[in-house]
Structures are given as structure tokens and as C-alpha cells.
Amino acid sequence: MISQSMKCFLTIVVLYMGQAAYATKATPDRCCIQAEQFQTSFGVLKTSYDQYEEVLLTCAFDFKSNQFGCDVDYDSYRIKTYLLVDKDVEYIVSEDSTCLVLSADPAPLRCVPDTLNYVTSFALGNQALLVDTWTFNSYDGNVAYVTTGRKDCTPVSMATITREEGYQEGFSTSYGTAMNFTDSVSDPDYWFVPPASCSNATQQVPKPFLKRLNVLKRLRAATFFL
């Protein structure tokens, strides 16, 4: 299990964001992102022992049609995902146009789920933006914090501690910030229509995919709006 000291450290990191603001005492209502279609980006820093990896996710969400797409840029590698929930399929396309097909992950959520517990609220930007922080501890000892805007539930940030499989005491941490939220999707075909190469998609996961795919799945598991 993750040590109590590490949980305390992550809590301090999250709460530090609001040090210059006021905290509210009343538990807020669980909010929902109001837009049914929107785009946003997430800058994520993932650390593990003496290594770190920067990830930029630029994603489009269409809750009307249950389809979701992301450009996922790692330090020196890029993949594109097409999550088509109603068809129970997800395509992942690499830089060389290799297309992998998987069973679909669950759709992202527009609302803060009941599995998250309220932590605190604080204001950013000279008290111009009131935000709420939520947390959950999963059955396998993982810890996640998610911060959302009070007014419209816009994603603000996330932080996680995740158990690393294969290490008795191993863990990794991820810290992410949401950017450039817009309540529309600029080019639906770009985000939700897989390329022609996916007509010959493979179900065999190539080794270069595996590590990056695991990073994406862990972020999804810890962050309800991914």
C-alpha cells in the first residue's frame, strides 16, 4: 500500500494551490460540465523514481454521440485515440499509421461521480474563480485528486499516486493542468472518424504502444472527465 507520508505529501501539494485564497466550509453540490460537446487540453507530468515523462493530451468530447478523441503527445512519441462507445470500440493510431483496435473503455463522465469525496474549495485569480477539490482512494491503494470549477465544473487540475506493478513498494505520481477549454468541437471528422488504415486494425498490442497505453488508461481511471 502507498505510505501515509506519501498521501500527506500529495494532499499538501493539492492544497498549496489555494494558499493565497479562502477555503469554504460548506460541501458543494456535485457539479456537471454543462456543454455536451467541448474540447480541452491537459498538460501532465508523470514521475517514477528518477524518471519523468511529459504528456500533452488535446481532446474532444461529444456526449451527444458518445464519441471521444484525443491527440496524445509524449516526450518523443505521438498517438491518436478514437473512443467510439456506442460501437464498443477504440482505435489507437501511431505515428506510422499503425492502427490498434481495442474494446472501448467506459465513456468519460460529465459529472463529479459519487465515488469522489469532497476535500476543500478555494479561489484563484484574485478570487475570480472558485474551485472545488475532490478525491478518491481505489481498492488497490491508488489516490487521486481532481479540481473543478464551481460555476460550470470546468476541469482545472488533477494529481495522482499510482501503484507500479512489479515493484513491492513502487509508485508513480502524475500532476496535470487543464487548459484552453472551449464549449464546442471545431472539426468532428478529425476527432471522431478513424483513418482508412483502421480498416486493417490489429488487436496485437505492439511493445512501443504498451507503456503509453498504460499511462493513458491510468489517467482515465483517476480522472473522471478523461
Location of C-alpha cell 488504415: 197
Domain at 78, CATH number: 2.50.20.30
What is the model's pLDDT at position 91? Answer: 92
Gap between the Cα atoms of 158 and 77, Å rounded: 23
Q: Is the Cβ–Cβ distance between 6 and 198 less than 8 Å?
A: no
Q: Is the Cβ–Cβ distance between 147 and 130 less than 8 Å?
A: no
Q: What is the tens place of the pLDDT at every residue in 179-215?
A: 898 989 989 999 999 999 888 887 776 666 666 676 6
What is the model's pLDDT at position 223? Answer: 64
Gap between the Cα atoms of 82 and 59, Å rounded: 10
Gap between the Cα atoms of 191 and 169, Å rounded: 39
In order, the DSSP letters of 41-55 are EEEEEEEETTEEEEE
Gap between the Cα atoms of 20 and 165, Å rounded: 38
- Of the candidates 110, 219, 216, 217, the residue with the CA atom closest to the CA atom of residue 154: 110
What is the model's pLDDT at position 23? Answer: 52
- Of the candidates 37, 21, 42, the residue with the CA atom closest to the CA atom of residue 179: 42
What is the model's pLDDT at position 199? Answer: 86
User: Is residue 168 packed enough to be buried (19+ CB in 10 Å), middle (13-18) or exposed (0-12)?
Assistant: exposed
Beta-carbon neighbour count of residue 118 at 10 Å?
A: 15
What is the model's pLDDT at position 204? Answer: 72
Distances (CA, A) of 160 to 2, 39, 97, 163, 207: 12, 22, 31, 10, 25
Paired sense of beta strands 143-149 and 129-137, if any: antiparallel
- Positions in the chain whose pLDDT score sits under 70: 1-25, 49-50, 138-141, 163-170, 205-212, 214-215, 217-226
Gap between the Cα atoms of 147 and 155, Å rounded: 6
Gap between the Cα atoms of 25 and 48, Å rounded: 35
What is the model's pLDDT at position 226? Answer: 59
Give how many domains the chain has, as a whole number.
1
Q: Return the percent helix, strand and coil in the chain, to nearest 5.
A: 20, 40, 40
Q: What order do you get walking across the sheet with 155-163 strand by strand?
A: 99-102, 89-94, 78-84, 67-73, 51-62, 37-48, 171-182, 155-163, 143-149, 129-137, 117-124
Domain that residue 119 falls in: 4-222
